[in-house]
Structure 1
């Protein structure tokens, strides 16, 4: 072999590894390409079974070389095979195809927050490599599969916020690799299976908010020695807290809220070294807080609110060096707040209100921590306030009302610029308010009412540009109202009644365009009423009584079209009443009072004697025709005219006497004629003669007899548990609705069938979506409520009558939104808050344009601010079957969440056209339960939607269905507020673009 041949041979041997490497790379590349192509085909087949109305999978195209850049697709960076799908919030529905499990490398599948409404997708059970499965926030129904154990590699399983039925199968206890298991709000029933105790690798277990059978936690769960989080709120747990929970030494989060757990808190729970959050609120726990609580060295959150706990707050809580949140409110705790709290450096949220605590607040509290929330209202605390509660500069909620605090308020709070809510009313504080406090830039509520404060309002108040509520009444404040107050463009309520303010009312106050309530009565203001107050177009209540105001009533008040209460009495106002006041609906006022001024001339508009008989007293020169409490028009006008023509005193006296005699005679004759007219009316009707008292809330353009004549069987348009409703057709062609309440049976003298509640609520509020109460009439034995007549009747009549099928979805949505806006007004914009307590389709009236008006306030309750957190405890159950919230039915405690539940039922009526209770549902099953069961059937959620609704789009209706299910959640804490309901209904408007609907779906997560 030649040298050249040897060299070539050597080179060829050296090339072999290089050639082999390239061949391997080519083979791998070909393999990757084949795998990618295969996965792409499978995904396209998977897509074919989905409904993608929003086009969120639009970039899944067969022309691509790989699916790795597709929306929601996760690939292995090396092999380019599909290892995961994350299709969260894509508005997808349809069927989960079995082809999904042919993706050989699939380990991660997330279909969270979509519109899938089939039964549990059994096809997924053929994905043996699946490690992570999330089906939460959908409409999956049916029973959970018995053979779930085929997913033997599963470590993470989230089925929360679906509508499954039946029990949790015992087979779930065979998922031996499972570490995370979430059944939150799945509508499951039966008992919690003890087999879950076999999941020894489990670190997170959530069973909260299911309709489990009453009972205790299975003791087998004590085997979950790796468990870090156990959540079982709202699981119908009864009995005592199991001491074996103290054996779960890895436990970090224990939540057993909204149950019926009773008895004392076992000391064994106080030996969990890693526990950071202990939440046991809304139970029936009694006894004292164990002193061993000091052993929970890792604890950051302690929430035991709304139980029956007694005794003192143990000083050992001061040993919890990591404690940040301390909620012990709404119990019966007594004794003093322990001094040891002052040494907790991480403390930021302290809520101890609604207890029986006494003594003083530890004076060093705040020295060592940065408090954000401090609420000790409604206790029996005394003494001074610690000077350094805002030492960390983060305090935003400072609530001390309804205690016995006294002394000078510390100056240090003047530099607490983080404050948002400052409510210290009903105490005995004295001295002056720190200057800087007036101008806190973030402050929304400043309430120092009912104290002994002195001094003036600082001009710094103009810097409080976020201020919405300023309550100063019942103090000894003095000085003038600074003109800088006009810079508060967001100010909604200003109450400065019963102080010692003086000087003029600043005209700048008219710049506060958001003002709804303005109370400046019982002070020493002088000068003229600023005409600029007429710019306050949102003003509902205006009280300037009991001052020393002079000059004329501003004609600009005629622009205050929202006004329902005006009190200018006991001042020194003079001149004529401006004709512009006639533009206002004066008889809508709860209060219209011009008495005890120096007004003169003829009242330039007509009022009713029965309404305002004493509103004009004390004005010797004012003539009010037809009102007996005012001087006669002869005195007020004729004498004034004659006086200009004669100066002879004798003639003047003779004329005066003659006119007075004539006035008396005319008055007697008029009274006799009126008496005869009423008497004849009653004689003709065969009725006993009675005297009626009329209290108006709107302008009256009819006579009493017209109302009484309507009380005839031919005019009946409805009847209910409180009385009969009649239609009154007036002589002017308009109509009214008259509700005659049942007479009170003997022995029930306190039962007025809602008369007082209707007057207290409808008489003081005004909203476009709340029916107008025109007036009320009472004869002592019979009460009448007179409303505006609403031509389309109630939603119930229309929806469940012959015309129900003609209501298309846009009209139904309009009705839902209108009713929601009315209820949101009661909950959020009324002071005090109003709970309706009888929301149902019968009590939603419809105008000719299908505007919804809430009606029937006979069960309404005014909820004072001090009761907002704890709700209102009732002695008896009231409401309508099918609409009553579970917590109200069981515990007789009503909050705004009870109204929201009832409204959710109305939404379901609009969606399904079913009544709240139907024979087809079965015994003991209402509309809410029926909907939940139907969702779990093979037909799924679409079967619930009323197919007869003209012009309906399922997508629009499904958005409202999801909201309805949130509103009717078994547990109040998971229901949205009415403000949120209004926002979500607006986003679900069928006239909005589809992109907006997608956003609504995203924001309507349960």
Structure 2
């Protein structure tokens, strides 16, 4: 071969060698960049970087993809628990990087780097991380087709202007960040290639602009949980490719736009929790719908019958509207129907029979309508059902037997209908049943013993029916039972002793039956019982002394045939009238009851005296024999007692002017002044005249269960560890300093006892001042000052303390009043501190904390607690202040409380004025109504609709009585702006759900 012929091969060899050398250098550079990226982050729970080691090519790294030339084009590491500060500018130095997926990790810190190195990126996903600070300017990322920053922790103003350069975007997700409030960004309307737009929960305000209909490629549009108002734009009907439209939780008004039915590709439509109105006729042609959610609006008219022919519809939620007519009878016939909730409308006609035709239905909620007819037998085989609620309708006939025993059913709610028949033995199969509500019907027969096999039951309400016979003896098997209400029936026989085994019981109401026999002493062993109503029966015998150990907020055994002396702790003022109607009962020298009459003149009493005299002589002789021994032991006993004093542990939280001996020597029955939420309370008067209150915390394993013991004996009983109530109260109060929270001076503990020493509040509790024989006239100004003071105390607990404190037992008896009637929040035995992790804000215990009448309704479904539960309870207190009534009274009607009663009167200003306490003068009634409206907001059924305590304080300040405002102006020389505080936000106050 000639030299000329071999030359091309030689130059080709040189070129390949040079190219290989360049690629090697480039590969080495990319390797270094990736290792720096790895060094900035770490992942302890996965092997994300296991393969990122020297000797391994970058293209073999986990999550790294390369192009045909071997350069890195994609880093894909979502859900890898990556932790660290993202070196975005560094990783963007990879020359061919087009895709960066780092979503669902734990990346944190701000992104302050210049993004000019990232101009080649086409996909950037940083969603669901923990970044901080602002989103940097995005103008340089003009090639981006996908941008996901959803739920990534960013805040501050978003650089909406920079979106104008991102015209290639097809996917834009910026929701669930705490951006500064802004109008809907018009820059988005220029992104004509968008297929996906997610701007939910990112502080958008104002109207959805006309022009949204120009984004005709959109398949997904989500603008929920913002502050958008006005109508849904008419041109939204141009988005014919939409499969999902989410507009819920805004302030949208008006009708569904004309032509909305053109969106025939729509599969999921949610415009719930707005102020929309009109009918649903525009939806009749949306045959592809899978989920339709329009609850909490003002829609009216009939539900289109075409919905019954939708072959994909599995979720229909339309509750809290004004819909009329009947449900389409073919609902669920074609589909694997999953959920229907049409509650709180005006619907009529029968329940459709086929919603569980395919055996998939889980939730059937139709309460508070006007449905008629029988419950279809087809649901007796619907084993997938978890919630079956049809209360407050006009249903009739018998319940199909199989429904009682559906295996996955959590809630049976048939209350307030015209249903009849018996609960069948099938209920033994209801292993998942939590709540059984069938009150206010015509059910009859005996309560089957098989109900004790439904061991998951938490709440039973059979009140206002025609049940008869005995309460099953096996009822004690229901260890999780929290509430049992059997009042207003015809039950007879004895109250089962086994009820004392239902250790979670909080409420027992057996009133208005024909029960006989004695009150079981075992009820006194129930650690959580705080409401016991056995009134209007035929019970005999004495009130068991064991009931003295209970922490009762409601105790009623009136109108029975009871005899004997009422235990002293049950004769306190708060229980006044609870034993009326049993002539054989007598009281003690304490509280509102007169003393028991002496029976020394009876023959039985005389014989007893003779016996005691003879026995006394025998005892005296025995004592003479022991005298010398006792005298010889006295010196040793005194030494032992002196040593025992050294075992007391005093923890002071304020400057003390007393010793533990001052306190211990005063813990006597004659100093007992009441029972708190978790123990007895004693009054202590020091030598200098200072008054204190001392709470002796009960321990369920020892002192709290034996009411016969003296206080001194209780202090000596052994136990292990502090009671949880003691720990909760000390933890909550030890470092709190607020004028409206009771002062805790110190704790005094030993191996044997727990005492808490507080300031003494001479005017007792708000409950006493409103509802008992200690009742004292409270003018409106005083009531208002009590309301706002208590609100500020709770505000501090929720918002002003380093770790928010949830009280969990807010009620008028836990609001104490000082000598000037200024309020203090007290009794923190159930308090819960929210930990930094956020996990401390809920409690999933089956035992519902709180007091009957004050407990928020969400406990019935979740048994979870947060600060909004305190807000509900405080709303009940406000209602007490305005109306002067108790949370539970007979005049409210069966199974109703003060909240439902006030709501029923809240239709107009005139009717609301009628519920104001008649002792409040006419000139203050408008001011009282303002506070009542705040109470209504506080007691909203959904926690999310309740204001925070900080907002409650602001609203109460806006509702300041006119006389107080005038006084404040007269006493203040500063210039006033001429507008009364009460007038500035009158609309804000008058708006209530």
Q: When the two structures are superposed, what TM-score results if normalisation uses the length of structure 1?
A: 0.64
What residue in structure 1 maps to residue 859 of structure 2?
830
SS in 1 for 2:340: strand
Q: How many angstroms does 1:393 deviate by? A: 2.3
Q: How many angstroms does 1:491 deviate by? A: 0.8
After superposition, where does 1:486-497 map in structure 2 within 5 Å? 486-497=452-463
What residue in structure 1 maps to residue 758 of structure 2?
735
After superposition, where does 1:77-116 map in structure 2 within 5 Å? 79=70, 83-86=74-77, 88-94=79-85, 96=87, 99-116=90-107
Q: How many angstroms does 1:242 deviate by? A: 3.7
What residue in structure 1 maps to residue 563 of structure 2?
600
* Distance across 2 between alignment mates of 1:866 and 1:621: 37
What residue in structure 1 maps to residue 554 of structure 2?
591
What residue in structure 1 maps to residue 802 of structure 2?
none
The verdict on how the C-alpha distance between 1:718 and 1:117 changes in structure 2, with shifts beyond 3 A counting, is closer
What residue in structure 2 maps to residue 362 of structure 1?
328
What residue in structure 1 maps to residue 532 of structure 2?
566
> In the alignment, which of 475, 487, 491 is matched to residue 509 of structure 1?
475
Q: How many angstroms does 1:284 deviate by? A: 3.6
What residue in structure 1 maps to residue 503 of structure 2?
537
Q: How many angstroms does 1:554 deviate by? A: 2.3
After superposition, where does 1:435-454 map in structure 2 within 5 Å? 435-454=401-420
Quick check: 768-777 or 328-337, which moved more?
768-777
What residue in structure 2 maps to residue 269 of structure 1?
236
What residue in structure 2 maps to residue 131 of structure 1?
122
Q: How many angstroms does 1:230 deviate by? A: 2.8
* Distance across 1 between alignment mates of 2:275 and 2:603: 73
* Distance across 1 between alignment mates of 2:325 and 2:129: 52
Q: How many angstroms does 1:273 deviate by? A: 2.4
The verdict on how the C-alpha distance between 1:116 and 1:299 changes in structure 2, with shifts beyond 3 A counting, is closer
The verdict on how the C-alpha distance between 1:348 and 1:839 changes in structure 2, with shifts beyond 3 A counting, is closer
* Distance across 1 between alignment mates of 2:391 and 2:232: 35
| Cα displacement string for residues 337-379 of structure 1 (whole angstroms, at most 9, x for unaligned residues) | 2222222222222222212222222333333444322222112
| Cα displacement string for residues 849-906 of structure 1 (whole angstroms, at most 9, x for unaligned residues) | xxxxx99996799999999xxxx9999xxxxxxxxxxxx9xx99975347898899xx
* Distance across 2 between alignment mates of 1:815 and 1:225: 42
After superposition, where does 1:35-46 map in structure 2 within 5 Å? 38-46=29-37
What residue in structure 1 maps to residue 582 of structure 2?
619
Are residue 753 (structure 1) and residue 786 (structure 2) matched?
yes
* Distance across 2 between alignment mates of 1:718 and 1:30: 70
Q: How many angstroms does 1:449 deviate by? A: 0.9
What residue in structure 1 maps to residue 271 of structure 2?
304
What residue in structure 1 maps to residue 385 of structure 2?
419
Unaligned runs of 5+ in 1: 1-8, 10-15, 188-209, 647-692, 796-810, 845-853, 876-887, 905-1006
Q: How many angstroms does 1:469 deviate by? A: 0.8
What residue in structure 2 maps to residue 330 of structure 1?
296
SS in 2 for 1:633: coil
| Cα displacement string for residues 784-833 of structure 1 (whole angstroms, at most 9, x for unaligned residues) | 76765779xx99xxxxxxxxxxxxxxx99489765655999676863599
The verdict on how the C-alpha distance between 1:171 and 1:735 changes in structure 2, with shifts beyond 3 A counting, is closer
What residue in structure 1 maps to residue 425 of structure 2?
459
What residue in structure 1 maps to residue 159 of structure 2?
168
Unaligned runs of 5+ in 2: 2-6, 610-672, 693-733, 749-754, 770-775, 796-804, 850-854, 881-886, 888-896, 910-933, 952-993
RMSD of the TM alignment (CA)? 5.4
Q: How many angstroms does 1:537 deviate by? A: 0.8
What residue in structure 2 maps to residue 641 of structure 1?
604
8 Å contact kept, 2:176–2:200 = no
8 Å contact kept, 1:387–1:410 = yes
Q: Structure with the greater relative contact order (CA < 8 A, sep ≥ 6): 1 or 2?
A: 1
SS in 1 for 2:440: coil
8 Å contact kept, 2:740–2:823 = no
The verdict on how the C-alpha distance between 1:533 and 1:77 changes in structure 2, with shifts beyond 3 A counting, is farther
SS in 1 for 2:786: coil
* Distance across 1 between alignment mates of 2:327 and 2:819: 54
> In the alignment, which of 357, 361, 367 is matched to residue 395 of structure 1?
361
Q: How many angstroms does 1:153 deviate by? A: 4.3
The verdict on how the C-alpha distance between 1:619 and 1:529 changes in structure 2, with shifts beyond 3 A counting, is same
What residue in structure 1 maps to residue 149 of structure 2?
159
* Distance across 2 between alignment mates of 1:213 and 1:29: 54
* Distance across 2 between alignment mates of 1:780 and 1:135: 56
After superposition, where does 1:751-900 map in structure 2 within 5 Å? 751=784, 753-754=786-787, 770=808, 775=813, 788=826, 813=835, 821=843, 830-831=859-860, 896-897=943-944
* Distance across 2 between alignment mates of 1:723 and 1:768: 15
SS in 2 for 1:122: coil
The verdict on how the C-alpha distance between 1:480 and 1:367 changes in structure 2, with shifts beyond 3 A counting, is same
Q: How many angstroms does 1:638 deviate by? A: 6.2
What residue in structure 1 maps to residue 182 of structure 2?
213
Q: How many angstroms does 1:533 deviate by? A: 1.0
Q: How many angstroms does 1:441 deviate by? A: 1.3
What residue in structure 2 maps to residue 120 of structure 1?
111
Are residue 246 (structure 1) and residue 279 (structure 2) matched?
no
* Distance across 1 between alignment mates of 2:595 and 2:900: 48
* Distance across 2 between alignment mates of 1:900 and 1:892: 6
* Distance across 2 between alignment mates of 1:775 and 1:44: 65
Are residue 181 (structure 1) and residue 172 (structure 2) matched?
yes
SS in 2 for 1:753: helix
Q: How many angstroms does 1:739 deviate by? A: 9.3
The verdict on how the C-alpha distance between 1:388 and 1:294 changes in structure 2, with shifts beyond 3 A counting, is same
8 Å contact kept, 1:521–1:546 = yes
The verdict on how the C-alpha distance between 1:561 and 1:723 changes in structure 2, with shifts beyond 3 A counting, is closer
| Cα displacement string for residues 317-336 of structure 1 (whole angstroms, at most 9, x for unaligned residues) | 22221122222222222222
The verdict on how the C-alpha distance between 1:468 and 1:82 changes in structure 2, with shifts beyond 3 A counting, is same
Q: How many angstroms does 1:560 deviate by? A: 0.4
What residue in structure 2 maps to residue 878 of structure 1?
none
The verdict on how the C-alpha distance between 1:592 and 1:832 changes in structure 2, with shifts beyond 3 A counting, is farther
* Distance across 1 between alignment mates of 2:213 and 2:462: 55
* Distance across 1 between alignment mates of 2:64 and 2:603: 92
* Distance across 1 between alignment mates of 2:691 and 2:608: 54
Q: When the two structures are superposed, what TM-score results if normalisation uses the length of structure 2?
A: 0.64
What residue in structure 1 maps to residue 465 of structure 2?
499
Q: How many angstroms does 1:70 deviate by? A: 4.5
8 Å contact kept, 2:812–2:877 = no
Q: How many angstroms does 1:257 deviate by? A: 2.9
Q: How many angstroms does 1:31 deviate by? A: 8.5
Q: How many residues align?
A: 760
What residue in structure 2 maps to residue 967 of structure 1?
none
| Cα displacement string for residues 772-794 of structure 1 (whole angstroms, at most 9, x for unaligned residues) | 87946999997576765779xx9
The verdict on how the C-alpha distance between 1:419 and 1:874 changes in structure 2, with shifts beyond 3 A counting, is farther
* Distance across 2 between alignment mates of 1:111 and 1:552: 69
SS in 2 for 1:173: helix
SS in 1 for 2:524: helix
8 Å contact kept, 1:774–1:788 = no
* Distance across 2 between alignment mates of 1:166 and 1:233: 16
| Cα displacement string for residues 38-66 of structure 1 (whole angstroms, at most 9, x for unaligned residues) | 54343323334446677966636655443
8 Å contact kept, 2:107–2:129 = yes
SS in 2 for 1:406: strand
| Cα displacement string for residues 829-851 of structure 1 (whole angstroms, at most 9, x for unaligned residues) | 635999999889xx99xxxxxxx
| Cα displacement string for residues 648-677 of structure 1 (whole angstroms, at most 9, x for unaligned residues) | xxxxxxxxxxxxxxxxxxxxxxxxxxxxxx
* Distance across 2 between alignment mates of 1:89 and 1:864: 52
8 Å contact kept, 1:874–1:892 = no
Q: How many angstroms does 1:552 deviate by? A: 2.6
* Distance across 1 between alignment mates of 2:589 and 2:274: 60
